[in-house]
Structure 1
């Protein structure tokens, strides 16, 4: 039933995250289970993102069910990817019309404060897109609009029901992990695009080649993903190899964690590690 055999990994994440949460709800908090849960929230974010580009099942009901399941796991509805990611970010590729371009908010930055602020700035910029998209959907496709509302109702119902059973467990095992996943979903845009050139055909995204890539569905190979948005994630390493020589060397990085340490910690102290913008314009708004 899977479109691609490698999507067993996606299904595993979809089952493992709630299983770890349920185990700790029943038997008590355990840090060595909680930390993998937090990592899985990153993987679930990527699975949710991937599903908006390419469905994983050959069956439409299974894809719908997976979409609803992901909305429950992430704590936000899946339609937001269509409204802001596919129709905005992938269309404009960090360019001047991209609503969440990192250089929109004050200046073209790449530092710790900018990274921490970006999820809040992006949320404020993207929510108007959600509302306009929903308003158009309500006029043009009432059935699809009701399906989007169903996603909100399911998330609200899950939150309310679990909080009623035990609000402390809900906070620790459901809400905080979901916030963690949402933070990374939004902050990753900053990691992948800050100081990249939003006017360039190839240098609009940063690429990470570290060992986390297979665990996070190769999302670090971001240029190839943008250029082939509907290609299955397992093919991104081969595509990245094809484009690697055309990308500015400063946008080819090793691991994500070393990059964050050198850019956000060492960069302010040592000019050698300080990030430099590739933007060819002074535009910031």
Structure 2
């Protein structure tokens, strides 16, 4: 079977659907208004795709390497994080070093030991994302070469799109890529910030909200993910159940808007129907 896990048809279908809409809007919009509207509407969906891109780099969607390279190219154009960037910066970098702030590629401490603000962290880690990935790649030349190939290919495709319609390219592709690269870093701040721990059960915040984990494909089970990052995202809830007694209560966070609102509405509807 081409797709390793049947459940991954869910993110793959949405990724390709968003690509299709991107291209239709790019090719057939009579003015810049529709691309701007679509760009704003799609940012949230592409934010979810950032999570799915992360999951794919830990556990590839497809059994065929060429299919994985294609979906990585698509997600790179949607999120600003091209194939192999997650692998180098995140899997071969952050995952190995997140318990040591002097080495962590996503360090939330300055070299002097000061806790960065969320904005300081976002700009520092965001601007250095690709240089850091390439630096990690010196120890992993095959992965580094793939990253360079993916960067070049992405730039070439953007160049072709730009030559066809520079304004639509900026609105539909370039702007979301830049915004989402920094938004991903912004969101990762609260995965670990302030948790200077050697115990992996006390080094990550978790979000168990059902809607948050539905749309992010279980990104909220972060302690479980760090303990076994090679596990498929669909297996993380069970792993979390097995280890949750080891996670201190203060390491659970609220999902935030709009997921908290969705959960509240669901609870109210459930109570209403149960009383009728």
Q: How does 1:183-262 map to 2 (within 5 A)?
A: 183-210=182-209, 211-257=211-257
The superposition leaves residues 238-277 of structure 1 with CA deviations (integer Å, 9 ceiling, x where unpaired) of 22222222212121123233899xxxxxxxxxxxxxxxxx
CA distance in 2, matches of 1:22, 1:65: 16
The match for 1:98 among 104, 118, 122 is 104
The superposition leaves residues 25-48 of structure 1 with CA deviations (integer Å, 9 ceiling, x where unpaired) of 323517774444111221221222
Question: Is the CA contact (8 Å cut-off) linking 2:90 and 2:105 kept in structure 1?
Answer: no
Question: Is the CA contact (8 Å cut-off) linking 1:4 and 1:56 kept in structure 2?
Answer: yes
Question: Is the CA contact (8 Å cut-off) linking 1:253 and 1:259 kept in structure 2?
Answer: no
CA-based RMSD of the aligned residues comes to 2.6
Residue 115 of structure 2: aligned partner: 108
CA distance in 2, matches of 1:230, 1:3: 14
Structure 1 regions of 5+ residues with no counterpart?
Answer: 261-285
Residue 272 of structure 2: aligned partner: none
The alignment of Structure 1 onto Structure 2 pairs a total of residues equal to 252
TM-score, structure 1 as length reference: 0.78
CA distance in 2, matches of 1:46, 1:183: 13
Change (3 A) 1:131 1:235: closer
Change (3 A) 1:240 1:146: closer
1:24 matched to 2:18? The reply is no
Moved more, 209-218 or 61-70: 61-70
The match for 2:51 among 23, 26, 46 is 46
Report which structure shows greater RCO (CA 8 Å, sep ≥6): 1
Residue 85 of structure 1: aligned partner: 90
Residue 16 of structure 2: aligned partner: 15
TM-score, structure 2 as length reference: 0.80
Moved more, 214-223 or 123-132: 123-132
Structure 2 regions of 5+ residues with no counterpart?
Answer: 261-276
